[in-house]
Amino acid sequence: MNSNVNRIIGRAPFDLVLRFRPEMRINIEVVATENSYNILRKVPAARREIELKEKNANLVRDIWDMSQVTAKKYYNIYKKEISFAIGDKIFINVKNFRVRKLCKKLTDRYVGFFKVSKSVNFNVYELELSEIYKKLYRTFSVSLLKSYSRKKGEEPFRFIDFDKEDRF
């Protein structure tokens, strides 16, 4: 049992959790009879302690539920349910590709557009790739895909050149 008083909060952890300070006694005989349990139920101080402990337990449950709701809210801010239909046009993220450019900053972030040919899983799609991208596997994770939507005045995409040693 941790009965050391914390210097910041000024109380013992045991004191905070159970709301009482246990006394260490030596040579106490424990007598457990039916009468002793009935007497504990009738004692107002014992009843008050039991009510405080139940109130504390309910408070801890409420705090736990609130913390779970808060964690879920912040997790769901960044989590997006992304799905594509067969035939949709999409881009592929090039963060895992080695691309021939003079400056890495100037490389395009996405290549494509490609059509979805098959949905392998909720998170994996198979694409129809052109001959230029024959080195690439046809299946991609949703995290690497982005829907294609062309804005007015935007130039169509250009093909990128891969290094000869690259194998995907």
d(CA 135, CA 129): 10
* Ramachandran angles phi, psi of 141, nearest 5°: -75, 155
Domain termination site, one of 50, 78, 106:
78
d(CA 9, CA 16): 10
- Domain membership of residue 73 as a residue range: 27-78
Mark out the alpha helices in 19-127 (DSSP H runs): 34-42, 44-78
User: Would you say 86 and 119 are in contact if contact means Cβ atoms under 8 Å apart?
Assistant: yes
Structure tokens at 164: 């000869």
pLDDT string in tens for the chain (168-residue length) = 567 776 666 677 776 677 666 666 655 455 555 555 555 566 777 778 888 888 888 888 888 888 888 888 888 888 778 888 999 989 888 888 877 777 777 777 888 788 999 999 888 999 998 888 888 889 998 888 988 877 777 776 665 666 555 554
**Residue 104's domain is classified under what CATH number?**
2.30.30
Residue 5 falls inside a structural domain? no
Does residue 89 sit in the same domain as residue 131?
yes
- DSSP letter assigned to residue 164: T
Does residue 118 sit in the same domain as residue 162?
yes
| pTM score above 0.75 | no
